């Protein structure tokens, strides 16, 4: 079989160029006689790879010098605990954090934070099945919050927040797992950004953390050494052996995005791709987009067939055209097309063409 169009929410499609380069140098990296997987993380070859990956990411995202870039493990699920363990601070006699609740991943972050301190949910869209994100005028911010946490893109619900919350002196924390690198952001407005790699960065097993210097160094009692950002920031993410091969792949992705014009160019292409799909969803009654217009994700696009009895047939026909992983998350049902940076325009067009064809065949 030829390669196919993979709409998986993550792990997800990677750029063809990156995979081919990885293949070509898998056994022997740039003639050094070793695979990247075999390199000591303290050897000059690997240290060069990781330093270059960080430098390219800093350039891509415009990360200010007073932010550390950490390559960790354990996914966003580990950050759900690391964030509170590192950022809870007593203010006004209590340690409390503000969380926005816009979907399944927000909920998980909230549940975990409650193990370590008080949580104030500033607003929630659970009333409408997480189909939108409350605007900031509806948020009930706590002036004594240790930090404010939100999920700018909910991978399951396909709800994206395109504006950046204003939180004044209170550090803003964002789980950017499924939106990072899809468009430019102003890093300086955030205290901490984290993201699992397996969507827009690289293979599963790498977790990216971008954290402002002054937030590092004060953890709750009983925090494991490996859950202390200081452990990693003081050791250039080499306190222990980092997930070297994943970081190497991520580095190639960063370099490719730079070559393609950076995040502004990515946003342009991503708006084009998402537009193809949303425009069609708006033009038909056969399919439906459940998400509020202002919050339609550029990366994860859930949609339903008006007649859910046709779901299986739709998926079967898609697979026959090499369009795979379109089944919606088990908690939502319907379909979901994840169209990360590495999904080519042709893939989205092929999906829209198939959707039209399927609709026509049922008319």
Q: Which residues bind a second copy (CB under 8 A)?
A: 1-4, 6, 8-14, 16, 19-20, 22-23, 26-28, 31-35, 37-41, 43, 46, 73-78, 80-82, 85, 112, 115-116, 196, 198, 202-206, 220, 222, 224-227, 239-246, 249, 322, 324-325
- Cα dihedral 173, 217, 66, 69, rounded to 10, equals -70
- Closest distance of CB 212 from a second copy, Å: 22
Closer by beta carbon to a second copy, 57 or else 206: 206
- Closest distance of CB 257 from a second copy, Å: 17
- Closest distance of CB 123 from a second copy, Å: 24
- Closest distance of CB 286 from a second copy, Å: 26
Residue 175 appears among annotated catalytic residues? yes
Closer by beta carbon to a second copy, 78 or else 96: 78
Closer by beta carbon to a second copy, 33 or else 64: 33
Helix, strand, or coil (residue 318): helix
Q: Which of 98, 175, 228, 255 is catalytic?
A: 175
Q: Which of 29, 56, 68, 105 is catalytic?
A: 105
Whose CA is closest to 74, among 315, 246, 316? Answer: 246
- Closest distance of CB 72 from a second copy, Å: 8
Q: Are strands 118-124 and 96-101 parallel, antiparallel or unpaired?
A: parallel
Q: Which of 199, 228, 255, 273 is catalytic?
A: 199
Residue 105 appears among annotated catalytic residues? yes
Closer by beta carbon to a second copy, 198 or else 304: 198
Closer by beta carbon to a second copy, 243 or else 251: 243
Distance (Å, whole) CA 89 – CA 117: 9
Contact 190, 67 (CB under 8 A): no
* Token output for 4: 């196919």
- Closest distance of CB 207 from a second copy, Å: 9
- Closest distance of CB 175 from a second copy, Å: 13
Contact 72, 78 (CB under 8 A): yes
Distance (Å, whole) CA 278 – CA 213: 40
The continuous run of DSSP H or E covering 209 comes out as strand 207-212
Helix, strand, or coil (residue 99): strand
DSSP for 139-187, please give it.
Answer: ----TT-S-EEE-SEETTTTEE--SPPP-TTSPEEEE-TTTTTSS---G
Whose CA is closest to 274, among 243, 302, 242, 313? Answer: 302
Neighbours of 322 (CB within 10 A): 15
Peptide bond just before 256 cis, omega within 30 deg: no
Closer by beta carbon to a second copy, 172 or else 197: 197
Residue 163 appears among annotated catalytic residues? no
Closer by beta carbon to a second copy, 185 or else 249: 249
Using alpha carbons, list the distances in angstroms from residue 28 to 31, 32, 38: 6, 6, 10
Radius of gyration (C-alpha) of the chain in whole angstroms: 21
| Residues assigned a catalytic role | 105, 175, 199
């Amino acid at each position: 079989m030829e390669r196919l169009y993979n709409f998986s929410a993550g792990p997800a499609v990677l750029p063809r160029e990156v995979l081919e380069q990885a293949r070509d140098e898998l056994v022997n990296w740039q003639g050094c006689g070793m695979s990247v997987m075999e390199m000591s993380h303290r050897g000059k070859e690997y240290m060069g790879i990781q330093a270059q990956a960080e430098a390219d990411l800093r350039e891509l995202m415009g990360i200010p010098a007073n932010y550390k870039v950490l390559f960790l493990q354990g996914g966003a699920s580990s950050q759900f605990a690391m964030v509170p363990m590192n950022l809870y601070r007593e203010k006004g006699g209590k340690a409390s954090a503000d969380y926005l609740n816009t979907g399944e991943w927000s909920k998980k972050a909230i549940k975990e934070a409650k193990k370590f301190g008080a949580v104030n949910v500033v607003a929630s869209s659970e009333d409408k099945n997480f189909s939108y994100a409350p605007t900031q005028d509806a948020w009930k911010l706590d002036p004594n919050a240790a930090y404010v946490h939100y999920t700018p893109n909910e991978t399951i619900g396909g709800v994206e927040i395109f504006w950046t919350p204003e939180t004044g002196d209170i550090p803003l924390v964002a789980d950017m797992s499924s939106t990072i690198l899809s468009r430019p952001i102003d890093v300086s407005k955030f205290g901490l950004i984290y993201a699992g790699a397996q969507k827009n960065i690289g293979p599963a097993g790498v977790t990216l953390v971008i954290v402002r210097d002054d937030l590092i160094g004060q953890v709750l009692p009983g925090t494991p050494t490996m859950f202390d950002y200081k452990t990693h920031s003081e050791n250039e993410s080499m306190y222990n052996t980092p997930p070297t091969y994943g970081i190497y792949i991520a580095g190639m992705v960063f370099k490719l995005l730079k070559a393609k014009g950076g995040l502004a160019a990515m946003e342009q292409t991503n708006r084009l791709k998402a537009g193809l799909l949303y425009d069609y969803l708006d033009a038909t009654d056969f399919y439906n987009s459940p998400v509020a217009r202002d919050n339609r994700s550029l990366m994860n696009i859930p949609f339903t067939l008006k007649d859910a009895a046709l779901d299986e047939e739709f998926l079967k026909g898609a697979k026959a055209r090499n369009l795979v992983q379109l089944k919606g998350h088990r908690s939502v049902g319907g379909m979901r097309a994840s169209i990360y940076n590495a999904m080519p325009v042709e893939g989205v067009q092929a999906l829209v063409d198939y959707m039209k064809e399927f609709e026509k065949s049922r008319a």
